[in-house]
Amino acid sequence: MKKKNMKRVLLVAIPAVLIVAALFFVGNGAGPVEVLAVEVKPYAEKIIAVGQLGPAQETTLIAEVSGTVKSLTAEEGGTVSAGELLLEIENPVTTEYSTASTEYSRLGSLVSTSRTDYNNAKTLFEEGAISQVELTARKNALDSAVSQQKAALLQVEIAAENANKYKLRVPWDSLLLKTYVAPGEYVKAGQSLVDIGSVDGYRITAEVDEKYFPVIKEGVAVLISVGDSNTGAIRSEVDSITPRINKETGTFEIKIKVPEDFPYIASNLTVSLEILLLEKDAAIVIPKKYFTAEESNAGFVLLYREGKVKKEQVEIDAGFGSNVLVLNGLKEGDLLISPEADLVEGDSVKSYKEGEAN
């Protein structure tokens, strides 16, 4: 039986994708060799993350004292102005402040009377009508009254501070996000009472892998989307970056501005994020395995050109994924041969089109 001649066969198929795979068949019984036909396409290098939407400022208010909740002035979703009373706990010692205030007022009158007596005594002493001993006694009485009044003022301040512990006021214009208690319930000191958020804007927070810390900067573009919404992604940018890595998770926090026209405003809403590190209207991108590095951002690829394997020097941007961005050295229509084909520059490849020999 006559032995058939083995031939090298090239088959190329180029569907409409960024990088298009085809097959070469190399002689001497070799298996199929992967070849890519390159197209110039828009390119975005991005990080996919998940974020949480919430007020720009948010905190939990804690009970300073134990007692029964007397009143709650707002419901979840309601707003409260800065300094307004939000929640009150029944005060078991309601007379403390009143008693201290009454005593302070009494001593204020005593100081006024003692000062008048002392001033009159000075006049009488200068006229020789009273002795130094009497003048000194009037001075001591005034000093004692002043000292007692200062002590009474301290008691008033302490009583007021104690009374305020039973009255919870919001520190800034607030949105009541969540209540943990209701009127009539007993609470303990240190217990969470309510969550409040600011009413002057929202932010999105996200935890990102620490390997991206060197490349995410303030102002980097971000696309925000919610579930399967038909509104499409909304463009924003990174607002701030927390300069601290969480040792347990290996992540760092970023905050993203929420545009004024963002249609979904709800605390703790989960959103999908595309952090756009790089955007190009036209670019050539190839899988890393087709690139052989010689320097940090330079190396070569193998091309099929006119029946031969050609070595082409290229410059790249390594990026973070499984692809590299080619900056120089390739053009649209080039056919890349994988290094796995075990071919070197100058090797011949006899090609066939649609299964017919050239």
How many degrees, rounded to 5, is the angle at CA 16 between CA 31 and CA 320? 75
Q: Is 2 part of any domain?
A: no
Helix (H) or strand (E) holding 305: strand 298-305
Q: Supply the CATH number for residue 251's domain.
A: 2.40.30.170
Q: Let me know whether 83 and 132 are in one domain.
A: no
Q: Let me know whether 96 and 157 are in one domain.
A: yes
* pLDDT at position 355: 24
Please determine, for residue 201, whether its predicted confidence score (pLDDT) is greater than 70. Answer: yes
Q: Let me know whether 216 and 316 are in one domain.
A: no
Q: Let me know whether 140 and 255 are in one domain.
A: no
Q: Which residue has the higher pLDDT, 355 or 96?
A: 96
Q: Let me know whether 83 and 172 are in one domain.
A: yes
* pLDDT at position 261: 80
Helix (H) or strand (E) holding 117: helix 96-126
Lookup: tokens for 175: 């949105």
Average pLDDT over residues 164-171: 91
Q: Let me know whether 74 and 186 are in one domain.
A: yes
Position 229 confidence tier, pLDDT thresholds 50, 70, 90: low
Give the domain range for residue 251.
Answer: 48-56+201-280
Q: Which residue has the higher pLDDT, 266 or 6?
A: 266
Of 217, 247, 280, the one marking the end of a domain is 280
**For residue range 283-293, what is the model confidence (pLDDT) as tens digits?**
999 988 899 89
- Mean of the per-residue pLDDT values for the chain? 84
Q: Let me know whether 205 and 179 are in one domain.
A: no
Of 257, 280, 303, the one marking the end of a domain is 280
Place of tokens 């396409």: 41
Contact between residue 222 and residue 205 where contact means Cβ atoms under 8 Å apart: no
* pLDDT at position 313: 95
Query: What are the angstrom distances between the C-alpha of 352 and each of 4, 25, 37, 53, 307?
Result: 17, 9, 16, 57, 10
Q: Is 1 part of any domain?
A: no
* pLDDT at position 231: 64
CB 47: neighbour CB atoms within 10 A? 20
Position 350 confidence tier, pLDDT thresholds 50, 70, 90: low
Q: Supply the CATH number for residue 124's domain.
A: 1.10.287
Please determine, for residue 14, whether its predicted confidence score (pLDDT) is greater than 50. Answer: no
Please determine, for residue 20, whether its predicted confidence score (pLDDT) is greater than 50. Answer: no
Lookup: tokens for 254: 């970023």
* pLDDT at position 347: 85
Lowest mean pLDDT among 13-27, 58-72, 233-247, 282-296: 13-27
Instruction: Measure the CA–CA gap between 297 and 293, rounded to whole angstroms.
Output: 7
φ, ψ dihedrals at 79, nearest 5°: -115, 150
* pLDDT at position 81: 93
Average pLDDT over residues 259-264: 83
Instruction: Measure the CA–CA gap between 353 and 357, rounded to whole angstroms.
Output: 7
Q: Supply the CATH number for residue 315's domain.
A: 2.40.420
Task: Please tell me the pTM assigned to this model.
Answer: 0.53
Lookup: tokens for 350: 């006899």
Instruction: Measure the CA–CA gap between 328 and 298, rounded to whole angstroms.
Output: 10
Q: Is 4 part of any domain?
A: no
Lowest mean pLDDT among 98-102, 205-209, 240-244: 98-102
Q: Let me know whether 231 and 270 are in one domain.
A: yes
Average pLDDT over residues 307-324: 85
**Torsion sign over Cα 131, 137, 143, 146:** negative
Q: Let me know whether 18 and 124 are in one domain.
A: no
Across the chain, how many H-helices and E-strands are there?
Answer: 2, 24
**For residue range 83-103, what is the model confidence (pLDDT) as tens digits?**
999 999 998 777 788 888 999
CB within 8 Å of 6: residues ≥ 6 apart: 27, 28, 29
Average pLDDT over residues 112-125: 94
* pLDDT at position 252: 97
Please determine, for residue 356, whether its predicted confidence score (pLDDT) is greater than 90. Answer: no
Q: Let me know whether 13 and 104 are in one domain.
A: no
Instruction: Measure the CA–CA gap between 290 and 351, rounded to whole angstroms.
Output: 20
Please determine, for residue 23, whether its predicted confidence score (pLDDT) is greater than 70. Answer: no
Return the axis-axis angle of helices 132-164 and 96-126, rounded to nearest 10°. 160
The number of distinct structural domains making up the chain is 4
* pLDDT at position 220: 93
Average pLDDT over residues 199-218: 91
Please determine, for residue 237, whether its predicted confidence score (pLDDT) is greater than 80. Answer: yes
Q: Let me know whether 77 and 172 are in one domain.
A: yes
Contact between residue 87 and residue 180 where contact means Cβ atoms under 8 Å apart: no
Contact between residue 107 and residue 155 where contact means Cβ atoms under 8 Å apart: no
* pLDDT at position 322: 80
Lookup: tokens for 251: 């992540």
Q: How distant is the alpha carbon of residue 105 from its chain centre?
A: 53
In 32-83, which ranges are E strands?
Answer: 32-38, 41-55, 58-62, 67-72, 79-80
Q: Let me know whether 209 and 225 are in one domain.
A: yes
Q: Supply the CATH number for residue 185's domain.
A: 2.40.50.100
Average pLDDT over residues 216-230: 86
Instruction: Measure the CA–CA gap between 291 and 325, rounded to whole angstroms.
Output: 10
Q: Is 101 part of any domain?
A: yes
**For residue range 142-163, what is the model confidence (pLDDT) as tens digits?**
999 999 999 999 989 888 888 8
* pLDDT at position 24: 43
How many degrees, rounded to 5, is the angle at CA 57 between CA 53 and CA 59? 100
φ, ψ dihedrals at 301, nearest 5°: -130, 160
Exposure string of 274-294, with b = 16+ CB inside 10 Å and e = fewer, is: bbbbeeeeebbbbbeebbeee
Question: In what order do the strands lie in the sheet containing 67-72?
Answer: 167-169, 85-89, 67-72, 186-187
Average pLDDT over residues 55-62: 90
